Structure 1
Amino acid sequence: MSIELRHFRCFLAIADTLSVTRAAERLHLTQPAVSRTLRQLEQELGVRLVDRSTHHLALTSEGLRFLDQAALAIAAFDRALRLARGAAWPLRLGHAWSAAGPYTPRLLRRWHEEHPDTPLELLRIDDRTAGLARGDVDAALLRGEVRTPGLVTELLLTEERVAGLAADDPLAARPHLSLTDLADRTLALNTVSGTTTLDLWPPHARPASTVTIGNTDDWLAAITGGRAVGVTTTATARMHPLPTMAYVPLTDAPPVPVVLAWRDEPGHPALADLRRLAREVLREGDR
């Protein structure tokens, strides 16, 4: 037996859903067919990709290593088909939250004016690299330190941190706060793509409890619903100015770097133009 694209797509669906049932639904296949395809792939590779020994599926260490390469292969194949059929080659720009902050509309408009023949697709992907490592996008706007191997980054700017509070929270009326002001509260942590961890606080003054969430929408809901407080950047405050939310400057929290990232390999021919334009738009600020 030889490995085919269907084996890759099956594995990626299982890895994304961590469920044979949901993967089968996504692929419009039966569960036995999905299980059989995965088993064929593992036998051909000679490694176990998915751990089925527990109630919930999980990728093995070999599966995690194979995941990004399989995604890149499928992305390259799909892109080649689009180009062969004469379709436009869009430049896909990923982000996990807030994109370019308040400069997002300016970036998109400038690109459309200067590069009308190359569509720029802005995609929110709830992932540490906003889909870049998997090949879902050509470049990504990311916040915080990027440690993923094979990615190149360019610093565009830094954003100050703010506390996110429900509008009726007693702390919301203060002109500024310190991290220790939040130490006795429940903290909402985005463990998928967020930049806030308990390491921001001194060991003796960390928040008493945490609520784990996976995206900005759930982060906002946890705070406005009174379940938690949060720490984010000024970009969130400007992109989500909700009447039920208050954003208060933090005086002792380090700023967050905003970078443009891309893979260290030949990529979309318009990447250099995107880097130049992102540099111009974000660094010129509000001038």
Structure 2
Amino acid sequence: MTVELRHLRCFLAIAEEANITRAAARLHVGQPALSRTLRQLEEHLGVRLVDRSTHHLHLTEAGHAFRTRAITAVAAVDDALDPTRVGTWPLRLGHAWAALGDHTTALLRRWRETHPDTPLELLRISEPTAGLARGRTDAALVRGPARGPHALLLNEPRLAAVPTGSDLAGRAELALADLTDRVIILSPPTGTTTVALWPAAIRPSATAVVDNTDDWLAAIASGRGVGVTTAGTAGIHAYPGVTYVPLTDAPPVPVHLVWTDPPRHPAIPALLALAREVVAG
């Protein structure tokens, strides 16, 4: 049997929906046809990709590994057939927030100077992998732990983000204990801060959750609470009503460049080299 692109799309829909019925509806095919397509793919690969033995559908270990390859393959075909990208091959660099901080402008300008035939598209996507896991980007700037091929670019110091004009805003530096009795604004989808950052004895009891960086900044500016972020945020997200103050006793946050295996774009090594050069300079 010859595996076709539809086999990969069917598998990815099942993986994302975690349900055969919903995946079939999404693809506008019958449930028996979708199950048959998945079975054909598994038979071709000689492994089971999906565990359907319980009430809940789960990917097997082989399924998780194959999912990354399938995403890369489908994204490559979609890119090749995208009429808006004929004649050029942009390198899509994702980030969830803050990009490369103060180094962002230098990276974009120097890339344009040194690689004029390969546009570098900076895409803000509020996902943990900044679009990499879904094939929307070729590489991503990720703060915190990184999975898959990656390289450490720098470690960013943490800052407190507090309402301008508050008693905390006038301080030269702050410690985690100074924030304990405040409402901590958290952004779980992509943020690097949780209450576990504080030692148990001084852990804040009041938190508020927002969906993205813009809402996080607005909540702090309005006086609803305070936040903890990295120097990258201060470098790229100046915001009226928010003051950033150095936080002395919180560990720094690593910033990684992450890509897929195999890489989706041949210019990723050049991007890594230039990012390292810009950060070092």
TM-score, normalised with respect to structure 1:
0.77
Asked if the contact 1:133–1:151 (Cα under 8 Å) also holds between the matched residues in 2, the reply is no
Deviation, 1:276, is 1.4
Deviation, 1:13, is 7.0
Number of the residue aligned with 1:27: none
Deviation, 1:242, is 1.6
Asked if the contact 1:7–1:41 (Cα under 8 Å) also holds between the matched residues in 2, the reply is yes
Asked if the contact 1:3–1:41 (Cα under 8 Å) also holds between the matched residues in 2, the reply is no
> What CA distance in whole angstroms lies between the structure 2 residues aligned with 1:59 and 1:270?
37
Asked if the contact 1:98–1:236 (Cα under 8 Å) also holds between the matched residues in 2, the reply is yes
> Which amino acid counterpart does residue 221 of structure 1 have in structure 2?
A
Q: How does 1:65-214 map to 2 (within 5 A)?
A: 65=64, 68-82=68-82, 86-146=86-146, 148=147, 150-153=148-151, 155-214=152-211
Deviation, 1:81, is 2.9
> What CA distance in whole angstroms lies between the structure 2 residues aligned with 1:35 and 1:203?
52
* Match of residue 248, structure 2, among 248, 251, 271: 251
Structure 1 gaps of 5+ residues are 25-29
**What's the CA shift string for 1:140-182, capped at 9, x where partnerless?**
1121221x2x3222x2222211111122433222221110111
> What CA distance in whole angstroms lies between the structure 2 residues aligned with 1:91 and 1:113?
15
Deviation, 1:122, is 0.8
Asked if the contact 2:93–2:137 (Cα under 8 Å) also holds between the matched residues in 1, the reply is yes
Where 1:170 maps in the other structure, the secondary structure is coil
> Which amino acid counterpart does residue 262 of structure 1 have in structure 2?
W
Residue 269 in structure 1 maps to residue 266 in structure 2:
yes
Deviation, 1:98, is 0.7
> Which amino acid counterpart does residue 175 of structure 1 have in structure 2?
A
Distance 1:175 1:281, change over 3 A: same
Moved more, 30-39 or 181-190: 30-39
What value does the CA root-mean-square deviation take over the aligned residues?
3.6
Number of the residue aligned with 1:240: 237
Deviation, 1:99, is 0.6
Distance 1:89 1:74, change over 3 A: same
> What CA distance in whole angstroms lies between the structure 2 residues aligned with 1:117 and 1:268?
14
Where 1:238 maps in the other structure, the secondary structure is helix
Q: Give the paired residue count.
A: 271
> What CA distance in whole angstroms lies between the structure 2 residues aligned with 1:227 and 1:256?
25
Deviation, 1:228, is 2.5
Where 2:74 maps in the other structure, the secondary structure is helix
Where 1:226 maps in the other structure, the secondary structure is coil
Structure 2 gaps of 5+ residues are 43-47
Distance 1:106 1:60, change over 3 A: same
> Which amino acid counterpart does residue 150 of structure 2 have in structure 1?
V
> What CA distance in whole angstroms lies between the structure 1 residues aligned with 2:224 and 2:140?
31
Number of the residue aligned with 1:33: 28
Deviation, 1:75, is 0.4
